[in-house]
Every structure is written in C-alpha cells, then in structure tokens.
Copies of this chain bind each other. A is one copy, B any other.
Amino acid sequence: MSRNVLLLPGDGIGPEIVAEAEKILHAINEKFDLKLTFDTGLVGGAALDEADNPLPDDTLDMARKADAILLGAVGGPKWDALPMAKRPEKGLLGLRSNLELFANLRPAILYPQLASASSLKPEVVSGLDIMIVRELTGGIYFGQPRGVRQLESGERQGYNTYAYTESEIRRIGRVAFEAAQQRGKKLCSVDKANVLEVTVLWREIMNELKSEYPDVELSHMYVDNAAMQLVRAPKQFDVIVTGNMFGDILSDEAAMLTGSIGMLPSASLNSEKQGMYEPCHGSAPDIAGKGIANPLATIISAAMMLRYSLDEEKAAAAIEAAVNKVLDQGLRTADIMSEGGTRVSTREMGDAVLAAL
C-alpha cells in the first residue's frame, strides 16, 4: 500500500524549510519502509506568479488525491496590493475549504531546551503544553454575505458575516473533546456569548456535547478573558476549542508564549483524517532566501503528519527524537539562538536532524 504526500513549498521561506523536511521524509521513508510517494505543487504567491491563480486546478487535484499535504507558508508584500480573490492567502483558504479541513490542531509547547527564548518568566511557562483546536472552514472566514457596498448615503460600507451551524460546531466540538480525553481531560471553550448570538449557539452545543464525554471537564471563557489568561497563567489550560477568527488570534498568542514559534507545527484535518500540515509561523519574507530560517517547525509538522494522517507513530517519534537530540546538542538557528548555543543555517539544521535519525 503506497501513500502519497503532496509538498507545497509556497512563498517566502517556504521553499527553504520544506526542502529540509523533504530530506528528512525521504530518509524516514527508507528507514521505516513507509512506501511514501511524493509530489510537489504550487500554491499562494508562487502559483500566482506562475499560473495567475493562488490555487491552480492541478494543485487542488493533487491535494484531493494525496493522503497528506505538507505546506510551507504563503503570502508576502509582493502580492499585498492584489484584490482579495487574487491573494496568496486564497490558496491556503481554498485548500482548507475544498478539502473540508475543519479541525486545526495547534499545540503550544515549550521545549525545555529553549525555555529562555520566552518573553515570559520561566515559572509562568515552564512545562507549558496547550492544544488549541480551531475551527477552520467556517465562521467569519467563509461567511456570506461579504464585501464592500455603496450605501444610499453615498459612502461605502465593508461587511462580513460570522456564522456557524449546529453541525459545524458539533463536529469541531467532538474533535476537541476527544483531544482532551487523550490529554489532561480539561476543555475550555472560548466564545463571546455575552455579545455575539453566533457564540451563544456555540456555547449551547458545547454544553450539549459534554454529556457524551463525562470524563472531560468543560469550562467556558470569553475571548477577551482568554487573551488575558494566556498571558497571566497559561498553564491553567489543557485543550482550548474556539472558532476560526478567535482561534487565529489565540493560537498565535499562545504560540508566542513559548518564544520559539519557529518550533511549532500545526495540523488541519478533515473527517477522514486526511490532513494538511504546516508550521505555525508565516512566510517571513524579510529573511527569505538567506538560508537562516528555522526548518524545525516544518520538520515537526512532518512528524505530526506521519502520526495523524499516515498512522506511522514510530516514524513520527523517530523524527521528534532526532529534533530533541539536535536541540540537546545546542544547535540553534538565528530565531532560537541564545548564549552557549551553536548557530547553524537552515540547511545545517536539516542535516543535523538527518544525522540524528
């Protein structure tokens, strides 16, 4: 049984970091005889440049057929002035919605070797291990109607729609409850139910689901309070579940608590566990092409891919162990560099992980 992995390097540092992850995947493929085949496709700005479309049909076809996708990052100032439909981000959003990748898992984990990189006090973040479950194919990202219209007064009004149906809430809720069951059994649902009707429904459905998961403790928190609590005492959280927009904000905030966003992977899954895997960080156009980007988040995303979509726990664990080893050896790209570390390039970091395998 052969399985296919689609590589989508994308923009900015994307190609550099995906190249390193690809090296690791090729090696692990041989070592564990995984029978993985690989394809590469265009997405985002790279696809706009080549095919005037951030998500070419080719790419979408390959994505549909793939068992899993590894994405670098999309976007950059080069394409910022384009109209909404022609933005690199539409490539990413199109993949998410076409493949119905509704469940976005974003761990925020503090690597003990990198504790000093955090802007928070060590006692506040040491041992941090949060899982943010973000709904990814609904909410205000995809709500209709949307646009900019002319009012009778003559002035323009921009508008978007934040909407969720019961079933959309239920399916992401289930993913979150199940994640909590496999972890610390605590789930915090984040909403703004004191102001937004859509999140009143969200809260109601989460409460309803609770009865199916008697072993999970469910709490609710307003999004403004959650943004505060993440700064004040992040270790109070185990699993957080929230909608697309709040999840975008809170998962980035949570990732930054660790100080090493260059280390954090993410998974976007559909109901068949087909998934797209990508680093939490963006395309970092300012350092693209310099060979200094940290490839570890992408390499760890590849490990997550092996675990969740390809059911290759051993291979995943081997990659994670190799990453830990290079961290123990003191190897550091610029973003995670600190006193006593040995500074390495993107490629050197990839090579070191390869050697550690």
> Does A192 lie at the interface of the complex (its beta carbon under 8 Å from any beta carbon of B)?
yes
Beta-carbon contact of B197 and A158 below 8 Å: yes
Beta-carbon contact of B151 and A232 below 8 Å: no
With most chain B CB atoms within 10 A of its CB, the pick from A87, A160, A200 is A160
Beta-carbon contact of B257 and A158 below 8 Å: no
Given contacts A141-B195, A165-B151, contact A249 B231 (CB under 8 A): no
Shortest beta-carbon distance from A328 to chain B in Å: 24
A residues 258-294 in Cβ contact with B at 8 Å: 259, 261, 282
Stretch of A28-36, A62-70, A220-228 that contacts chain B: A220-228
> Does A39 lie at the interface of the complex (its beta carbon under 8 Å from any beta carbon of B)?
no
With most chain B CB atoms within 10 A of its CB, the pick from A165, A229, A249 is A249
Beta-carbon contact of A194 and B87 below 8 Å: yes
Beta-carbon contact of B155 and A167 below 8 Å: yes
User: A250 vs B249: C-alpha distance in the bound complex, in angstroms?
Assistant: 9
Given contacts A156-B165, A159-B162, A261-B228, contact A140 B223 (CB under 8 A): no
Q: Could you tell me how many residues of chain A have their Cβ less than 8 Å away from some Cβ of chain B?
A: 63
User: A227 vs B87: C-alpha distance in the bound complex, in angstroms?
Assistant: 23
* Chain B residues whose C-beta falls within 8 Å of the C-beta of A146 in the assembled complex: 196-198
Contact of A225 among B223, B232, B252 (CB under 8 A): B252
* Chain B residues whose C-beta falls within 8 Å of the C-beta of A223 in the assembled complex: 248-249
User: A242 vs B224: C-alpha distance in the bound complex, in angstroms?
Assistant: 14
Stretch of A116-124, A298-306, A337-345 that contacts chain B: A116-124
* Chain B residues whose C-beta falls within 8 Å of the C-beta of A200 in the assembled complex: 84, 148, 158
User: A89 vs B197: C-alpha distance in the bound complex, in angstroms?
Assistant: 13
Given contacts A75-B194, A148-B197, contact A233 B119 (CB under 8 A): yes
Beta-carbon contact of A224 and B249 below 8 Å: yes
User: A93 vs B249: C-alpha distance in the bound complex, in angstroms?
Assistant: 24
User: A182 vs B108: C-alpha distance in the bound complex, in angstroms?
Assistant: 38
User: A256 vs B227: C-alpha distance in the bound complex, in angstroms?
Assistant: 9
Q: A158-B196, A158-B201 are known contacts; what are 14 more A-B pairs with Cβ within 8 Å?
A: A75-B194, A119-B233, A120-B120, A146-B198, A159-B162, A159-B197, A160-B196, A161-B162, A223-B248, A224-B248, A224-B251, A225-B252, A228-B261, A231-B256
